[in-house]
Chains A and B, each alone.
Chain A
Amino acid sequence: MNRRDFLRTSSVVIVTFTFGRTIAESGLAQDTNLGKPVDPREVDSFLAIHADGTVTIYTSKVDVGTGLNIAMTQMVAEELGIPVDRVSVVEGDTALTPDQGGTGGSTGITRGGTELRQAAATARQALLKLGVNADMTNIGMVAGGKRLDLKVDAKAPLRDPSSYRIVGKPILRPDVPKKCTGTNVFLQDFSVPGMLHGRMIRPPSLGAKLISVDEVSIRGIPDVRVVRIQNFLGVVANDEWAAVRAAKALKTTWSESQTLPGSERLDGFVRATAIERDETIVNRGDPATALPSTAKQLSATYWWPLQSHASLGPSCAVVDFRPEGTTIWTASQGPHGLRANFARVFGIPEDKLRVIFMDGSGSYGSNGNDDAAADALLLSRAAGKPVRVQWMREDEHAWDPKGPPQLLDIRGGLDAENRIAAWETQMWLPANVQGSRPLLAVDDAGIAQPHGRGAGQISQNGDPPYAAPNVKVVVHWLKETPLRLSNLRAPGKIANIFAVESFTDELASAAGIDPLEFRLRGITDPRAIDVIKRATEMIGWESRPSPNSRTQSGSVRVGRGMAYMRYKQMENYVAMAMEVAVDRSSGKINVKRITCAHDCGLVINPDGLRNQIEGCILQTLGRTLHEETTFDRSRVTSVDWKSYPILSFPEVPAVDVALIDRPALPPMGAGEAATAPVAAALANAVFDATGVRLRRVPLKLG
Chain B
Amino acid sequence: SVDSWDPAQPLLYVLRNGLGLHAVKFGCGLGQCGACTVLIDGKAARSCSTPVAQVGGRAVTTLEGLGTPEKPDKLQAAFIAEQAAQCGYCTNGMIMSAKSLLNQTPNPTSEQVKQGMAGNLCRCGTYTRILSAVLRALKA
Which of A31-39, A269-277, A358-366 has 4 or more CB atoms under 8 Å from chain B? Answer: A358-366
Q: A15-B2, A19-B64, A181-B67 are in contact. Are A172 and B83 (CB under 8 A)?
A: yes
Cα distance, A4 to B28, chains bound together (Å) = 26
Question: 0/1 per residue, A286-311, Cβ < 8 Å to B?
Answer: 00000000000000000000000011
**Chain A residues whose C-beta falls within 8 Å of the C-beta of B61 in the assembled complex:** 3-5
Chain B residue with Cβ nearest A13: B4
Q: Give chain A interface residues in 1-53, CB to chain B under 8 Å.
A: 3-10, 12-17, 19, 21-23
How distant is B57 from chain A, measured CB to nearest CB, in Å?
Answer: 5
Determine if A614 is an interface residue (Cβ-Cβ < 8 Å): yes
**Cβ contacts under 8 Å, B2 to chain A:** 14-17
Segment at the B interface, from A207-215, A340-348, A650-658: A650-658
List B contacts of A311 (CB < 8 A): 89, 123
Assembly CA distance A60 to B17 (angstroms): 31
Q: A64: which B residues are within 8 A, CB to CB? A: 87
The answer to whether B1 and A652 touch across the interface, beta carbons within 8 angstroms, is no
Q: How far is the CB of A358 from chain B (nearest CB, A)?
A: 12
Taking a contact as CB atoms under 8 Å apart, the answer to whether B124 and A23 are in contact is no
CA distance A640 to B125 in the complex (A): 18
Does A390 count as interface, using CB distance less than 8 angstroms?
Answer: yes
Report A-chain residues with C-beta under 8 Å of the C-beta of B92: 182
In the complex, which of the residues B22, B65, B125 contacts A622, with contact meaning CB atoms closer than 8 Å? B125
A611 to B64, CA, bound (A): 25
Check A350 for interface membership: any CB of B closer than 8 A. Answer: no
What 0/1 readout, one digit per residue, does chain B (44-61) give for beta carbons within 8 Å of chain A?
000000001101111111
B136 on interface, CB distance cutoff 8 Å: no
- Given contacts A182-B22, A641-B33, whether A649 and B114 have CB atoms under 8 Å apart is yes
Q: Quick check: is A607 within 8 A (CB to CB) of the other chain?
A: yes
Question: Are the C-beta atoms of B62 and A3 separated by less than 8 Å?
Answer: yes
Size bin of chain A's contact surface: 35 or more
- A558 within 8 A of partner (CB): no
Known contacts A16-B1, A615-B86; decide if A177 and B7 are in contact (CB<8 Å): no
State which residues 142-197 of A face B: CB under 8 Å. 172-173, 175-186, 188-189
Inter-chain contacts of B22 with A (CB < 8 A): 23, 182, 185-186, 188-189
Cβ of A129 < 8 Å from any Cβ of B? Answer: no
Interface residues of B in 96-140 (CB under 8 A from A): 114-115, 117-118, 120-129, 131
A14's contact among B3, B19, B32, B83, by CB below 8 Å, is which?
A: B3
The 8 Å CB contact of B129, one of A186, A242, A364, A614, is A614
Q: Tell me the smallest distance from the CB of A93 to a CB of chain B, in Å.
A: 19
Secondary structure of the B contact surface, majority rule = loop
List A contacts of B120 (CB < 8 A): 649
Please tell me if the beta carbons of B83 and A619 are within 8 angstroms of each other in the complex.
no
Asked whether A312 and B33 contact (CB < 8 A) given A16-B1, A393-B28, A649-B118, the answer is yes
Query: What is the CA–CA distance of A10 and B57 in the complex, to the nearest angstrom?
Result: 10
Q: A8-B56, A188-B26 are in contact. Are A652 and B128 (CB under 8 A)?
A: yes
Q: Is A617 interfacial (CB 8 A cutoff)? A: yes
How far, in whole Å, are A245 and B65 apart by their CA atoms in the complex? 29
Report yes or no: B128 in contact with A618, Cβ–Cβ below 8 A.
yes
Residues of B within 8 A of A189 (CB): 16, 22
Q: Which residues of B contact A188 (CB under 8 A)?
A: 22, 25-26
In the complex, the chain B residue whose C-beta lies closest to that of A11 is B7
Q: Is A361 a contact of B29 with CB atoms below 8 Å?
A: no
Interface string of B7-40 (1 = CB under 8 A from A): 1011001101111111111111110110100000
For the complex formed, measure the closest distance between the CB of B43 and the CB atoms of chain A, giving whole angstroms: 14
Q: Establish whether residues B85 and A180, one from each chain, have CB atoms under 8 Å apart when the complex forms.
A: yes
Specify which chain A residues have a CB less than 8 angstroms from the CB of B53 in the assembled complex. 9, 13
Contact across chains for B5 and A222 when beta carbons are under 8 A apart: yes
How distant is the Cα of A393 from the Cα of B31 in the complex, in angstroms? 11
Q: Are B87 and A19 touching (Cβ within 8 A)?
A: no
Select which of B65, B69, B87, B127 is within 8 A of A647 by beta carbon: B127
Q: Are B114 and A15 in contact (CB under 8 A)?
A: no
Q: How far is the CA of A542 from the CA of B54 in the complex (A)?
A: 57
Given contact pairs A173-B83, A360-B89, A393-B29, enumerate 17 new A-B contacts (beta carbons under 8 Å). Answer: A5-B59, A9-B53, A9-B57, A17-B19, A19-B19, A67-B86, A175-B88, A176-B79, A176-B80, A180-B72, A180-B95, A181-B23, A182-B23, A361-B123, A390-B26, A614-B125, A654-B128
Complex A-B, nearest 7 residue pairs according to Cβ-Cβ distance, in ascending order:
A182-B23, A9-B56, A618-B125, A65-B87, A179-B88, A3-B65, A362-B87
The residues of B with any CB-CB pair to A shorter than 8 Å are 1-7, 9-10, 13-14, 16-30, 32-33, 35, 52-53, 55-69, 72, 76, 79-80, 83-92, 95, 114-115, 117-118, 120-129, 131
